[in-house]
């Protein structure tokens, strides 16, 4: 028996003018207006003596809304443009191309300043900045910045696309995410052959990321990175930043274990010096231990106060092991930190939480970072900044308007549950009413999200 009964009597027509798709995406656009981002971008992108048909800040916000809704190319702006009853006038794809092409380096700097001002207003709206949770302990009043790079493939010849260290071809952007809020604070586009451990790139993007943090919250920072951050130049710069008045800056970066000095030091660590490691929930991590190797290494060329902590665990099947690891049956990983207090197990769990940045990268790739639209490098740089705006809007939506399961949903799930929900647009008494499906499981949460956004006070 063929299972076709569910579609018996089904007919499809296109004659209802009252139903609109992407109704939930209006919340993102409305949020940008309420927190002052649209006006800030408009001022940043304005040009003296030029009055465009489409406000440049509004175009940037519309592109960001399109990215949060799942758009992958500039042409996808048409999905918003054909919803004039819902979104009002939206620029065409050719206009978006021109707007991104107009974004000079000076204009992009002004965009970052506008984002920083808006972020200050958003953070002031929060009861408190969310704590970064590690091993069951809140890092209260500490802002945690995770820096990491990712590879983005280019499937056609694009300016400055190059062969990557993994044998592919494309770009190697570097970004900094705030672990407390999931915001993408700063990101820079780099050729595919850019070095993973290029200290200059790390310093530049971290400096811009710190500038994005409201001044009142820069007093205690933690910078986390993988082994690419273990360079003398970067750690020296972080140490200098930590000496600024009124600021406490700590770092936790991966430290290469495949060097003779550290390998020799590991072999001399006494067995009683190893203590059990802990997992993210604070429970003992079976088969894993931590120990400090600082006193066994010559660290005179490294910044004063740097410590090296080593973790060992039984390797998983198929793991690539060094000669030492094959000999004693342990797999070793190390990291460097300047944090002076705290149990070794806590410091190691805090560093391992840097892995959460992979989730941030995955979310960004699902919102525009996964591919670049143009052959021109400058346009792709501007596109990357709209990706950062989209990431911010998604984070602010969670922080200011959502709760329960929607607040924890990944971008793709958020689209299915909220952003792509259809609605009926009804006009009555010079007002527009957006009526969501009453039986939609998340309808009440979506309505509440709109209510919360509408009462956000304007920035002063």
In a domain, 162, yes or no: yes
Asked whether the CA dihedral 297, 299, 304, 306 is positive or negative, the reply is: negative
The burial of 113, by beta-carbon neighbours within 10 Å (0-12 exposed, 13-18 middle, 19 or more buried), is given as middle
What pLDDT score was predicted for residue 284? 84
Judgement on whether residues 343 and 320 belong to the same structural domain of the protein: yes
Number of residues in the chain: 460
Q: Which of 180, 172, 123, 119 is nearest to 146 (CA)?
A: 180
Judgement on whether residues 244 and 288 belong to the same structural domain of the protein: yes
In a domain, 358, yes or no: yes
Domain edge (last residue) among 310, 332, 362: 362
Judgement on whether residues 285 and 420 belong to the same structural domain of the protein: no
What pLDDT score was predicted for residue 138? 58
What pLDDT score was predicted for residue 318? 63
Q: By the 8 A CB rule, do 445 and 403 touch?
A: yes
Parent domain of 443: 17-111+373-454
What pLDDT score was predicted for residue 50? 79
- CA separation for the pair 350, 252 (Å, rounded): 8
Please report, for residues 283, 285, 313, 331, 349, the alpha-carbon distance to residue 288 in angstroms, rounded to integers and kept in the order given: 12, 6, 4, 9, 11
What pLDDT score was predicted for residue 52? 80
Judgement on whether residues 382 and 436 belong to the same structural domain of the protein: yes
Please report, for residues 34, 49, 64, 378, the alpha-carbon distance to residue 58 in angstroms, rounded to integers and kept in the order given: 13, 18, 10, 20
What pLDDT score was predicted for residue 280? 76
Judgement on whether residues 76 and 103 belong to the same structural domain of the protein: yes
What pLDDT score was predicted for residue 1? 53
Per-residue pLDDT of the chain in tens (460 residues, 90 and over written 9):
566 677 778 888 787 778 888 999 999 999 999 999 999 999 999 988 778 888 999 999 999 999 999 999 999 999 999 888 888 899 999 999 999 999 999 999 999 999 999 999 999 999 888 877 765 555 667 899 999 999 999 988 899 999 998 999 999 999 999 999 999 999 999 999 998 889 999 999 999 999 999 999 998 999 999 999 999 999 999 999 988 877 899 999 999 887 778 888 888 999 999 999 988 777 888 889 999 999 999 999 999 999 999 999 887 776 677 767 666 778 888 999 999 988 999 999 999 999 999 999 999 999 999 999 999 999 999 999 999 999 999 999 999 999 878 998 999 999 999 999 999 888 887 888 889 998 999 999 999 999 999 999 988 8
Judgement on whether residues 346 and 384 belong to the same structural domain of the protein: no
CATH number at residue 336: 3.90.350.10
The 3-state secondary structure of the chain reads CCCCHHHCCCCCCCCCCCEECCHHHHHHHHHHHHCCHHHHHHHHHCCCCCCCCCCHHHHHHHHHHHHHCCCCCHHHHHHHHCCHHHHCCCCCHHHHHHHHHHCCHHHHHHHHHHHHHHHHHHHHHCCCCCCEEECCEEECCCEEEEEEECCEECCCCCCCCEECCCCCEEECCEEEEECCCCCEEEEECCECCCCCCCHHHHHHHHHHHHHHCCHHHCCEEEEEECHHHCCHHHHHHHHHHHCCCCCEEEEEEEECCCCHHHHHHHHCCCHHHCEEEECCCCCEEEEEEEEECHHHCCCCCCCCCCEEEEEEECCCCCCCCCHHHHHHCCEEEEEEECCCCCCHHHHHHHHHHHHHHHHHHHHHHHHHHCCCCCCCHHHHHHHHHHHHHHHHHHHHHHHHCCCHHHHCCCHHHHHHHHHCCCEEEEEECCEEEEECCCCCCCHHHHHHHHHHHHCCCCCC
What pLDDT score was predicted for residue 137? 54
- CA separation for the pair 324, 228 (Å, rounded): 22
Judgement on whether residues 171 and 277 belong to the same structural domain of the protein: yes
Judgement on whether residues 267 and 203 belong to the same structural domain of the protein: yes
What pLDDT score was predicted for residue 327? 67
Judgement on whether residues 442 and 339 belong to the same structural domain of the protein: no
Residue 356: CB atoms within 10 Å: 19
Judgement on whether residues 75 and 159 belong to the same structural domain of the protein: no
Domain edge (last residue) among 338, 362, 386: 362
- Count Cα atoms within 13 angstroms, Cβ side, for 410: 11
**Count: domains in the chain:** 2
Judgement on whether residues 389 and 418 belong to the same structural domain of the protein: yes
Residues near 272 by Cβ (< 8 Å), separated by ≥ 6?
none
What pLDDT score was predicted for residue 418? 94
What pLDDT score was predicted for residue 49? 76
């Amino acid at each position: 028996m063929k299972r076709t009964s569910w579609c018996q009597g089904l007919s499809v027509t296109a004659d209802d003018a009252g139903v609109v798709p992407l109704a939930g995406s209006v919340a993102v656009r409305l949020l940008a207006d309420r927190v002052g981002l649209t006006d800030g971008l408009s001022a940043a992108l304005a040009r003296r003596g030029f009055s465009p048909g489409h406000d440049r800040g509004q175009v940037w916000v519309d592109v960001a809304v399109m990215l949060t809704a799942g758009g992958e190319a500039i042409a996808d702006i048409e999905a918003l443009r054909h919803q004039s009853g819902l979104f009002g006038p939206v620029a065409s794809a050719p206009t978006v191309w021109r707007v991104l092409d107009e974004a000079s380096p000076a204009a992009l700097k002004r965009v970052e300043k506008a984002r920083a001002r808006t972020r200050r207003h958003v953070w002031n709206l929060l009861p408190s900045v969310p704590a970064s949770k590690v091993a069951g302990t809140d890092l209260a009043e500490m802002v945690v910045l995770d820096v990491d790079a990712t590879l983005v493939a280019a499937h056609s010849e694009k300016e400055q696309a190059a062969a990557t260290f993994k044998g592919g071809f494309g770009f190697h952007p570097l970004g900094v995410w705030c672990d407390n809020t999931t915001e993408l604070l700063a990101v820079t586009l780099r050729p595919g052959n850019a070095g993973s451990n290029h200290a200059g790139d790390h310093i530049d993007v971290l400096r811009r990321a710190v500038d994005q943090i409201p001044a009142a919250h820069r007093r205690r920072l933690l910078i986390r990175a993988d082994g690419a951050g273990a360079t003398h130049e970067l750690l020296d710069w972080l140490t200098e930043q930590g000496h600024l008045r009124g600021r406490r800056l700590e770092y936790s970066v991966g430290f290469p274990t495949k060097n003779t000095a550290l390998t020799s030091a590991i072999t001399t660590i006494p067995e009683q010096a190893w203590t059990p490691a802990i997992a993210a929930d604070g429970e003992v991590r079976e088969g894993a231990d931590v120990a400090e190797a600082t006193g066994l290494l010559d660290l005179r060329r490294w910044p004063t106060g740097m410590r090296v902590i080593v973790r060992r665990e039984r390797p998983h099947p198929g793991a690539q092991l060094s000669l030492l690891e094959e000999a004693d049956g342990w797999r070793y990983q190390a990291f460097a930190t300047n944090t002076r207090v705290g149990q070794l197990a806590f410091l190691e769990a805090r560093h391992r939480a840097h892995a959460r940045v992979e989730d941030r990268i995955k979310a960004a790739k699902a919102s525009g970072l996964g591919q670049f639209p143009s052959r021109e490098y400058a346009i792709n740089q501007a596109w990357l900044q709209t990706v950062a705006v989209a990431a911010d809007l998604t984070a602010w939506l969670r922080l200011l308007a959502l709760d329960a399961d929607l607040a924890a949903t990944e971008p793709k799930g958020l689209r299915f549950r909220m952003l792509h929900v259809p609605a009926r647009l009804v006009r009555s008494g010079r007002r527009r009413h957006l009526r969501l499906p009453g039986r939609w499981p998340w309808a009440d949460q979506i309505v509440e999200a709109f209510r919360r956004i509408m009462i956000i006070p304007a920035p002063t």
